[in-house]
Amino acid sequence: MVLETERLVESRRLLEAHSRLMDLEHWQDDILWQLHGAAGMAGSSLSSEDKELVAKYFSGVEQLVDALGKELWAVVSSSLALARQNPTPFVSAVRIVEREEALDRALLAERGGATGGSRPLPAGRPRCWRACFFQVLEEAISARFRSVSYLHTRGPGLAGHLSALQHAVMADLATVRHLLEHCVPPHYQLTAAYLRASHRCLHAHLAQVSSWDLESGEIFAVLNWVLHIYNSQDMMGHPELITETERAELGPLISTEGLEQLQSKYVQSVRKSVSEWMHKALQVELQDWQRDQEPDTDHEGFYQTSLPTIITQMLEENTRVALMIGESLRDQTIQMGLYEIENLLNRFREALVEFGKEHRRDRTNNKNKFYLHYLLASISNCIILKKSTESLQQQQSSRSSGQFSRTPPNPLAALDRAVRRACRLVMDQLLLELQPFLPCLLTRPWLVQGDPVPKLCSVLESHLDLYGRVRPPCWQRLQEEAQWLMVVEYVRALMQKKLVCRSSEERRQLAQQMLQDDQLFREVFHSLESEVSVPEVNPLALLPVLADFICLKDPGMLTLEISGLAAKYPDISEEHVSVLLDVRGDVSRDIRGAVLDLLEQSAPPLPAGYRPIFTDILVPPSTLAFCLPTAKCA
């Protein structure tokens, strides 16, 4: 009987083999029960020798159970392949599993709660082969996951690997639903069981993948697959699977903590790439500054270089890609980009400082004759970057918060610092070009001939023409700064007392020449007149006021004049007024004292928004008008 059953198992005639096996087990159980009963009648229990004798006689039965189970689980393991070819062995396996379950239930009901004197359970019972069935099925599913090629799963191959997993899972699900589901009792809920097993295998597999040292593209592939593909209609969200997935009660494929870690790894990987690209872009920018030609211009004629385009496109592309995963990743990516912009602008400002130093060292060799042009291009670049930065900030959701440090990024402040540094360098260059003509200003030759103001205006005009290549609003800012610089240098020349009037006629000539200069300056800066609505913010308004002060005929009215001057320009000091009185050349000691006393008593505070002008003008110390008694003098 054992030999015949073995042949049936080997030929996979499983139902017949199982029937013979049940007969053998029944015989063994009956013999044991008879021996047990005989021993009980004799007042003793079944001896170990009898047990050993029966076990030896039926030793082939236990081996048959193992052999049948082995064949059974082999059939279950290959059930997906068998279902497409010949599902009969699988059906037989399920029938055997159900027979075993029925036997387990019957034996447990008959003998499970019995007392020690009743018939014991046969050896190896209950077998729980239905639980084994599902365990083997899950192991088979896990093996199929491992069989999907792990080669080329790094880099671009990871997306292909995940796609292969998707197609394998969906193909197996179709086989389970359309073929295997009809081969098992309804209570097996085989599709839901397959879904749970596949989900657990995927969860373990993706946990392993996530632990790798992934690049940003690989992390994106994992996140996209987990968050969008897995639950989409192309996979678990398929309309025909929704009922089954609800029944299977699938949890998240990756935990919330795991997703956050993946997103953080993604942002850090992208940040490294962005930082490297920004460094390269800045190096290209510094090389552009050394070119022996003008910067490129855009379609509106404004100077520009490639830097803002590279930075803007890179950040916008990263933001667009991150949004494909979700708003949270987009916000983290934007914030990372804002930090990197801030870092870039800080390095950019340092590069501008070094650019200015290098130019001052080499200006005698005229090494970079387009120095000013590239400064202006830098300002235009900052304006473009400001718009891009504001656009990024607007894309962030209100709930986004810092992910990298407690200090939020502040790229706009870094932009402002870079623009102010560039503007300062532009003004330094303007002052450098004006410098040869400033010593001749407000001297006696100037009073007679009017020089060098036309030359100053020529330099100003050439600069203002270049400022027009800067994007608004910075070109207006540069013109205003040029105007302030010119007026400050003009008044500084007046404070040098290179020209002290000796008569009322000279005072009239000085005032008239100052007004003529003011007119020339106004013609140069005519485009700014419409921009200025408040006279006090226009520095050129100071020159006519000073001219009126100098040509005032009645010195007794100087007190009133100074009162008005101090009201308009509250930062004017006693030293400034004292020089103005010296330049007039006709002020008595009493009037001077009264004027200075009045100025000291009034001293109004600087109003909010007032830009000091006299503060930037130092008054040279007065020389002593007498000689100390020394031995040489005596």
For residue 399, what pLDDT is reported?
61
For residue 484, what pLDDT is reported?
95
Confidence of residue 479 (pLDDT cuts 50, 70, 90): very high
Confidence of residue 1 (pLDDT cuts 50, 70, 90): confident
Nearest of 565, 575, 571, 567 to residue 543 by alpha carbon? 565
- What tokens does 144 get? 């199929």
Q: Give the least confident one: 176-185, 281-290, 427-436, 600-609.
A: 600-609
Confidence of residue 152 (pLDDT cuts 50, 70, 90): low
Provide the CATH number for the domain formed by 441-616 in this structure.
Answer: 1.10.357.70
Q: Where is pLDDT greater, at 528 or 396?
A: 396
Q: Per-residue pLDDT tens for 265-310?
A: 999 999 999 999 999 999 999 999 999 999 999 999 999 999 999 9
For residue 628, what pLDDT is reported?
47
d(Cα 191, Cα 254) in Å, to the nearest integer? 22
Query: Is the pLDDT reported for residue 624 higher than 60?
Result: no
When pLDDT is averaged across residues 107-114 and rounded to a whole number, the result is 71
d(Cα 80, Cα 78) in Å, to the nearest integer? 6
Run of H or E including 297: strand 296-297
d(Cα 81, Cα 75) in Å, to the nearest integer? 10
Query: Is the pLDDT reported for residue 604 higher than 80?
Result: no
How far does CA 607 lie from the centroid of its chain?
42
d(Cα 287, Cα 283) in Å, to the nearest integer? 6
Q: Where is pLDDT greater, at 625 or 34?
A: 34
338, 409 contact by CB (below 8 A): yes
When pLDDT is averaged across residues 407-424 and rounded to a whole number, the result is 92
Q: Where is pLDDT greater, at 45 or 503?
A: 503
Residue in the structure block whose two tokens are 């590069």: 351
Nearest of 459, 494, 463 to residue 480 by alpha carbon? 463
Q: Per-residue pLDDT tens for 184-229?
A: 999 999 999 999 999 999 998 899 888 888 899 999 999 999 999 9
328: left (phi over 0), alpha (psi -120 to 50) or beta: alpha
Q: Per-residue pLDDT tens for 480-505?
A: 999 999 999 999 999 999 999 999 99
pTM of the model: 0.79
Domain span(s) for CATH 1.10.357.50 in the chain? 259-426
For residue 125, what pLDDT is reported?
80
Percent of all residues in the chain with a pLDDT value above 70, rounded to a whole number: 89
Q: Per-residue pLDDT tens for 445-461?
A: 999 888 899 999 999 99
For residue 332, what pLDDT is reported?
93
Dihedral angle computed from the Cα positions of residues 324, 325, 327 and 332, in that order, rounded to the nearest 10 degrees: -110
- What tokens does 99 get? 């027979």
Dihedral angle computed from the Cα positions of residues 210, 213, 218 and 221, in that order, rounded to the nearest 10 degrees: 10
- What tokens does 25 get? 């087990």
Residues near 550 by Cβ (< 8 Å), separated by ≥ 6? 501, 507, 510, 511, 514, 580, 583, 584
Query: Is the pLDDT reported for residue 397 higher than 80?
Result: no
d(Cα 200, Cα 193) in Å, to the nearest integer? 11
Percent of all residues in the chain with a pLDDT value above 90, rounded to a whole number: 55
How far does CA 33 lie from the centroid of its chain?
78
DSSP designation for 604: P
Domain span(s) for CATH 1.10.357.70 in the chain? 441-616
For residue 515, what pLDDT is reported?
96
d(Cα 96, Cα 91) in Å, to the nearest integer? 9
Query: Is the pLDDT reported for residue 238 higher than 50?
Result: yes
Exposed/middle/buried for 299, CB within 10 Å: 0-12, 13-18, 19+? exposed
Provide the CATH number for the domain formed by 259-426 in this structure.
Answer: 1.10.357.50
Q: Where is pLDDT greater, at 112 or 384?
A: 384
For residue 37, what pLDDT is reported?
64
Confidence of residue 58 (pLDDT cuts 50, 70, 90): confident
For residue 44, what pLDDT is reported?
56
How far does CA 305 lie from the centroid of its chain?
24
d(Cα 377, Cα 391) in Å, to the nearest integer? 21
Amino acid identity, position 389? T
375, 285 contact by CB (below 8 A): no
Residue in the structure block whose two tokens are 């400064």: 375
d(Cα 21, Cα 387) in Å, to the nearest integer? 83
CB atoms within 10 A of CB 166: 18
Mean pLDDT of the chain: 87
d(Cα 325, Cα 507) in Å, to the nearest integer? 77
